[in-house]
Structure 1
Amino acid sequence: MTSALILIDIQEGFDDPFWGARNNPKAEENAARLLDHWRVLSAPVFHIQHVSTMPGSPLNPDGGQSAIKSIVAPCRDEPVLTKSVNSAFIGTDLETRLHSCGLRAVTICGLTTPHCVSTTTRMAANLGFDVTLIHDACAAFTTNADTSWRAGTAPTAEDIHRAALDQLSGEFARVIATNEAVT
């Protein structure tokens, strides 16, 4: 079964310290390996770009950091779908494009695991797609949000990443490593 590769929000703005500490510094390299593999297979690739409407967000186009990182830069025949919410299916024609290609399976990677990756993974599964999530081609951050409600030690970026993957594994996606996806 042919699977489309969906690269979510691998953008320059995620290098900004605004997001806090990060896990998995190799996520973009692994995403690039996936992209190279899909290109060799001439399989469908979709780039998703988050265009934030929040003033001051590193992903707001006014800040100059919303571009897709060069390591996974799209080729001219690879569509770039822009969104301003967590799901790559809301406000885009991603579902229509996948169906028009006769695709029933998607492989997802990108930033960030508990946010746009998780939301897109859940929606893809709910829409009936067979979803594979590449855990080592995703990353998470600690949060700079108000956590005064939380008692105890704050989770690390790795804790957040693993918790998101645990919640997706099985019910919403098959979670695997890059090496397994490219063999």
Structure 2
Amino acid sequence: MTALVLIDTQLGLQEIAYYGTERNNPEAEENCGRLLQFFRENQFPVFHVKHNSTELGSPLHPSKIGNNFHPAVEPMINEPVFEKNVNNAFIGTHLESRLKAQNITDLVIAGLTIEHCISSSVRMASNLGFDVTLVSDATAAFDKIGYDGNPYSAEVIFHSELANLKDEFATIKNTETLLNELEKSF
């Protein structure tokens, strides 16, 4: 069985200035919403993960409006929400046990950001034995300053992460391709 896992699709991850100077894939949340709509319409399981930062200044701190889910992916009452305060959706949550209790073997993972919680969670999911599909245009990255002091654009960070996760930890597909494939599988 296949499930959708939406990770940290929260308002605070639109606050670019806190995380860097640029973010790629401005349509990531909308693509997460498209995936969510398809999974709901076809009655596939959906799981939401929410990051509760322990840093008071973070837009994702529970006291901030940025901690709220993006409107495109607001959970429904029957969709489980797992709250975490680390960069891995499986650490400190019951996500793994809930997935296994429902005999879920395949995960479609989307959300924010690829260089943090998405990468950590995709790797862990794969290591736990799940077959993972990462939806490339339903995630995004921020620019970074490297250990060497050199700037790395959001696009470079994004594509480097996809290259690192490809094949060993996940199959990479875009929203349109995945939805077309899922539609044909019925």
Per-residue CA deviation, residues 133-171 of structure 1 (Å, 9 max, x unaligned), is 00000000113x6x4x415x4111011011001000000
- Cα separation, 1, equivalents of 2:32 and 2:51: 17
Q: Which residue of 2 aligns with 1:45?
A: 46
Q: 2:151 aligns with which of 128, 151, 154?
A: 154
Give ranges in structure 2 of 5+ residues lacking alignment.
181-186
- Cα separation, 2, equivalents of 1:103 and 1:46: 11
- Quote the sequence identity (%): 46
- Give the secondary-structure state (helix, strand or coil) at the position aligned to 1:62: coil
Question: What amino acid maps onto 2:136 in structure 1?
Answer: H
Q: How many residues matched?
A: 178
- Cα separation, 2, equivalents of 1:142 and 1:55: 22
Per-residue CA deviation, residues 93-119 of structure 1 (Å, 9 max, x unaligned), is 000000010011100001000110000
- Cα separation, 1, equivalents of 2:66 and 2:35: 23
Q: Which residue of 1 aligns with 2:120?
A: 119
Question: What amino acid maps onto 1:14 in structure 2?
Answer: L
Give ranges in structure 1 of 5+ residues lacking alignment.
none
Q: 1:173 aligns with which of 130, 146, 170?
A: 170
Q: Which residue of 2 aligns with 1:7?
A: 6
- Give the secondary-structure state (helix, strand or coil) at the position aligned to 1:160: helix
CA RMSD of aligned residues (A): 1.1
CA drift of 1:130 comes to 0.3
- Give the secondary-structure state (helix, strand or coil) at the position aligned to 1:53: coil
CA drift of 1:54 comes to 1.2
Alignment of 1:1-183 (within 5 A): 2-16=1-15, 17-20=17-20, 21-143=22-144, 147=146, 149-150=147-148, 153-183=150-180
CA drift of 1:62 comes to 2.0
- Cα separation, 2, equivalents of 1:64 and 1:5: 25
TM-score, length basis structure 2? 0.92
- Give the secondary-structure state (helix, strand or coil) at the position aligned to 1:77: coil
- Cα separation, 1, equivalents of 2:66 and 2:34: 23
- Cα separation, 1, equivalents of 2:154 and 2:138: 14
